[in-house]
Structure 1
Amino acid sequence: MPATQSAPPAPVDIAHPATYAGGVPHEEFDRRRREEPVGWVPEPALWRHSSAGRIQQRGAGFWAATTHEAVVEVSRQPEVFSSALRGAFLHDPRTPADLEFMRQLLVNMDAPQHVRIRRLVTSVFTPRAVRSLADTVTRHARDLIEAVRRRDTFDAVTDLAAELPLLVLADLLGMPRGDRHLLYRWSNNLVGFDDPEYGGGDVEVYRQTFAEAFQYALAVAVRRRAAPRDDLISLLATAEVDGRRLTDREFCQFWLLLVVAGNETTRHLISGALHLLLHDQALRRRWLGAPLSTATAVDEFLRVVTPIMQFRRTATRDATLAGTKIAEGDKVVMFYVSANRDAAVFADPHQVDLERAPNPHLSFGMGPHFCLGAHLARMEMAALLDAVVPHLPRLATTGPVVRLESNFVNGIKSMPVGWT
């Protein structure tokens, strides 16, 4: 068997990372919503690489929640569907030590720990706090557009979609802007673990990425504790939870989560939106032909693209979900990417309607784990849209679009674009 993942088996396997290299299998999700809103999915065997050699990993399988109603029901019952029991990611931790390590990530916590830790940074991401960043975000977006205007061709992902959230993150975290390439590489290795070009399914690359990122974060924490600044890192480094500071490991886990979540969602949202605008001439004409609310359009792009396609929960007790019996310990995966196309909630769900309202999409999740950075992601997307839209008539893709091999993130790795 080759070192990279094999082509997905037939029929369409919604658990296999390689399936998504060709785009989201919306027809399969349509079928599942009609026939089995909560259906059992066997997990494929995937090759992993470590210092001990190549190993094959296969999970026990999971229940796929594919309707809007089912995903909302799971999201609203954290006491029944736990993030901490076995983690929030589809693939199970390999060892008990791995599970304990991952439980220090906010997404893998339940109440009350989740509430205490999340409270540390809630004030930084309120709508009012995010509005204070508006001028900076707008300036970055315009500067990026001006930079690519001086070139005949550019990559819409690496030069625009990835750059904007990385620049904003560097400002927010008080980092040198030149270090943002480190954030990009670390994020690719972790979120793109299954992609042959990024993590390659290599456990050692995964662990080394954590080690490098933690070493960087600890060095920053030491400096901020000695001389705090007015930035998010200083807040984390000096904050106390229940009368004590975060441990070094807790600090590093939180810092890395901010780094990854702070650029992945926005990067892939922007990439997906640009892909739609550059490949759908009718959509482009609608945007250019009449005044539109950028905020409303951003929510529709969030719905259609769904950058984070799924998260996992584990049943803490026997339960029933959409008429399906779930046993204690069963894995339940919430497919936001399917729920966002549910015809029971969205008229013409596969149509991009830039004036769709209301738009109860689930791209930021729901319940206690609703995305902390939702307001910032919307602002970044709106800023880039406003900056790029005047130039849309002169932009066209010049080569193949390369998608990320991932069952977690709906991502585009490369999208070459030129001026016409």
Structure 2
Amino acid sequence: MTQLPDFLTIDPSTRTVSLDARNPAFYGDPNRTYAALHAACPTFYWREQKQWFFCGYDHVNALLRDRRFGRQILHIASREELGLPEPAAHTANFDLAERHSLLEIEPPEHTRLRTLVNRAFVSRHVEKMSGEIADLANRLIDGFERDGRTELLSTFADIIPVTMIARMIGIPEEMGPQLLRWSHDYVGMYMFKRSRADEDAADRSAKEFADYVKTVIAERRANPRDDLLSHMIHTEHKGQFLSEEELISTTIVLLNAGHEATVHQIGNSVRVILESGLDPQAMFADAAATERTVEETLRICAPVHIFQRWALEDVEVDGVPFRRGDKVSLILAAANLDPGKFPEPLIFKPERNEAANLSFGAGIHFCIGAPLARLELNIVLPLLFKRLPGLRMAGTPVVKDVYHFHGLERLDLAW
């Protein structure tokens, strides 16, 4: 039997797990823990989180699509009925910005918002941005190529996704650094290590973010342009336009989701490719090889690990009974390592052609920005390795002290 690390205990008989998510040995390399969970009990109760979690590919895939579970619960039950506390006063601005978030609502509101936004993100529209993405990536590489070394996140990975999503929505590119600061504070609300200071920072940034978006909305109402924000303002769905609050929430979630995870994925992908010792030229030999390589990096080092659901009715899954109002967590990154779907799941194999990874989710909340993220990865990763032959790591990659996102603090490279 494999010896478990000291931050993890598993009782398969009760499917109970004790796991310290703050331990650097866990968040630095969560895949090893996921492998242990698959071997012992892929459905488990995480004692510290007081919640049931699912790791198995088939369960996670099914639950993402199961309409007996949803992203919200208060549309069908009151806080009093469910025994939920009242919202905290110090996160009122954050809660307001989230109220109409595509990630947090259910049909029919979700259907209306997603229908208005979806057209801009379908592959045929996104692919028109290929030239712009390549031009930006080449320009950034031009800026550090002669140095022989760079810190990839600050000079490359941070810049491309935020620039492209800002252009798409209609936010001035020079706002990029400020958008990154707001976004980093905002997503702090989703981390397991969240403190009162994190909550205060998220609330402050949510207010500043929303106030800024209001000014851009007012400008686009007066002077529409050929951008997504103008489209959302001036397009109706079944006779209805988006309200001001819906516009603000949708713009914020698109800006956050449109770059935060992709920044992590660029860094994670470069790291896993370099650590594999495999030949990058073979991985990016043609479009088909590139696509397989990108999907394998998404499988083995996904940037977002957990998606949560509320039970909308009493239901049993894998022998676990849930009552209406119970919360469950689906570990997307662990589902990608299910040995029943992916033989030798901890090994990076760019030639894999097995099950689809679940890094973008599934069902009605499947990531709306997936076509853009995939396009960016399929363009910028080959460019990096082509433009910088001999690319290698110039130091130990520093993993961010956060869970459940997984990304690097810095990635020092040389060539």
TM-score category, normalised to shorter length: 0.7 to 0.9
- Sort the Cα spacing of 1:15 and 1:246 in 2 relative to 1 into closer, same or farther, 3 A: farther
CA offset digits 1:140-183 (Å, max 9, x no partner): 12222222203243211121111111221222122222111011
Deviation at 1:127, TM superposition (A): 1.2
Percentage of matched positions with identical amino acids: 27
Identify the residue that residue 68 of structure 1 maps to in structure 2.
57
Tell me if the contact between 2:54 and 2:331 (Cα under 8 Å) persists in the aligned partners: yes
Determine if the alignment matches structure 1 residue 38 to structure 2 residue 51: no
Tell me if the contact between 1:315 and 1:326 (Cα under 8 Å) persists in the aligned partners: yes
Determine if the alignment matches structure 1 residue 133 to structure 2 residue 129: yes
Identify the residue that residue 29 of structure 2 maps to in structure 1.
24
In the alignment, structure 1 segments of 5+ residues that lack a partner are: 1-7, 45-60
- Sort the Cα spacing of 1:288 and 1:252 in 2 relative to 1 into closer, same or farther, 3 A: closer
Tell me if the contact between 1:62 and 1:331 (Cα under 8 Å) persists in the aligned partners: yes
Paired amino acid for 1:77: D
Tell me if the contact between 2:398 and 2:409 (Cα under 8 Å) persists in the aligned partners: yes
- Sort the Cα spacing of 1:272 and 1:74 in 2 relative to 1 into closer, same or farther, 3 A: same
- Aligned to 1:104, the other structure's residue is in SS state coil
**Range moving further from structure 2, 140-149 or 105-114:** 140-149
Determine if the alignment matches structure 1 residue 234 to structure 2 residue 203: no
Tell me if the contact between 2:341 and 2:354 (Cα under 8 Å) persists in the aligned partners: no
The 5-angstrom pairing of residues 213-228 of structure 1 reads 213-228=209-224
CA offset digits 1:306-337 (Å, max 9, x no partner): 11111100111221212322232221101001
Tell me if the contact between 1:192 and 1:405 (Cα under 8 Å) persists in the aligned partners: no
The 5-angstrom pairing of residues 390-405 of structure 1 reads 390-405=386-401
1:335 to 331, 334, 337: 331
Q: Return the TM-score normalized by structure 1.
A: 0.85
Deviation at 1:302, TM superposition (A): 0.9
Following the alignment from structure 1 to structure 2, what is the Cα–Cα distance between the partners of residues 347 and 413?
30
**Range moving further from structure 2, 137-146 or 253-262:** 137-146
2:177 to 173, 176, 181: 181
Following the alignment from structure 1 to structure 2, what is the Cα–Cα distance between the partners of residues 158 and 200?
27
The 5-angstrom pairing of residues 302-313 of structure 1 reads 302-313=298-309
- Aligned to 2:147, the other structure's residue is in SS state coil
Following the alignment from structure 1 to structure 2, what is the Cα–Cα distance between the partners of residues 287 and 167?
27
Q: Return the TM-score normalized by structure 2.
A: 0.86
Paired amino acid for 1:85: I
Following the alignment from structure 1 to structure 2, what is the Cα–Cα distance between the partners of residues 124 and 299?
23
Tell me if the contact between 2:280 and 2:385 (Cα under 8 Å) persists in the aligned partners: no
- Sort the Cα spacing of 1:253 and 1:291 in 2 relative to 1 into closer, same or farther, 3 A: closer
Paired amino acid for 1:84: Q
Tell me if the contact between 1:125 and 1:373 (Cα under 8 Å) persists in the aligned partners: yes
Determine if the alignment matches structure 1 residue 115 to structure 2 residue 120: no
Identify the residue that residue 325 of structure 1 maps to in structure 2.
321
Tell me if the contact between 1:194 and 1:405 (Cα under 8 Å) persists in the aligned partners: no
CA offset digits 1:176-235 (Å, max 9, x no partner): 221110111111112245779998842221111001111110100000000100001111
- Aligned to 1:341, the other structure's residue is in SS state coil
The count of corresponding residues between Structure 1 and Structure 2 is 391
Paired amino acid for 1:83: R
Following the alignment from structure 1 to structure 2, what is the Cα–Cα distance between the partners of residues 195 and 185?
16
Identify the residue that residue 95 of structure 1 maps to in structure 2.
87
- Aligned to 2:310, the other structure's residue is in SS state strand
In angstroms, what is the RMSD of aligned CA positions? 2.8
The 5-angstrom pairing of residues 143-292 of structure 1 reads 143-193=139-189, 201-282=197-278, 284=280, 287=283
